[in-house]
Amino acid sequence: MVKLSVEIVTAERQVLAEDDVDMVVAPGSEGFVGILPRHAPLLTMLQPGSIRIKKDGAETAMAVGGGFLQVNADRVLILADTAERADEIDEGRAEEARRRAEQTLQEAMRGGNNLQADAARVALQRSMVRLNIVRRRRRRPES
């Protein structure tokens, strides 16, 4: 069976070394995109969200904070601004980040600072993604 080679890197580290998988689902700029073997070449921006990697019947989730996804010749390369595996996410820190982002958003909206409000919305979205991934993992452990 044909597989996809997937690699996820950030500026700081290699989050996922090249691995052969069955499918990748990622938060593209126009919505979620599913990549299967023999997918047409593609380059898209990534939004903060959850990347799901399916391999041999198991699914692994990772939080990504934006970046780029490139598909070429059964190879998926994800250049992420930030990326964390589910087992790397500290739920307490993610919850604290959510609270700070909500507080910053409220203050920015009261003060009419649209730029600060937009940044707070992105921070809130990133923290919610991280919380959703860690909570889903707690309910259903990954292989």
At 22-55, the pLDDT tens digits run 999 999 989 999 999 999 999 999 999 999 999 9
The identity of residue 50, as a single letter, is S
CATH of the domain at 69: 2.60.15.10
In the chain, % helix, strand, coil (3-state, to 5) comes to 35, 45, 20
For residues 47 and 25, give the distance between their C-alpha atoms in angstroms, rounded to a whole number.
12
Domain span holding position 68: 4-86
Q: Do 59 and 96 fall into the same domain?
A: no
* Parts of the chain with a pLDDT under 50: 142-143
pLDDT at 21: 95
Contact 107, 36 (CB under 8 A): no
Cα–Cα dist 138/61, whole Å: 12
Same domain, 121 and 59: no
**Number of independent structural domains in the chain:** 2
**3-state SS, residue 114:** helix
Q: Which two tokens stand for residue 23?
A: 């499918």
Based on the fold, state whether residues 45 and 113 are members of the same structural domain.
Answer: no
Q: Are residues 67 and 94 in the same domain?
A: no
pLDDT at 143: 45
C-alpha torsion sign, points 77, 48, 81, 31: positive
Residue 78: the pLDDT is 96
Tokens 């399916």 correspond to what residue?
Answer: 54
Q: Give yes or no: residues 47 and 59 share one domain.
A: yes
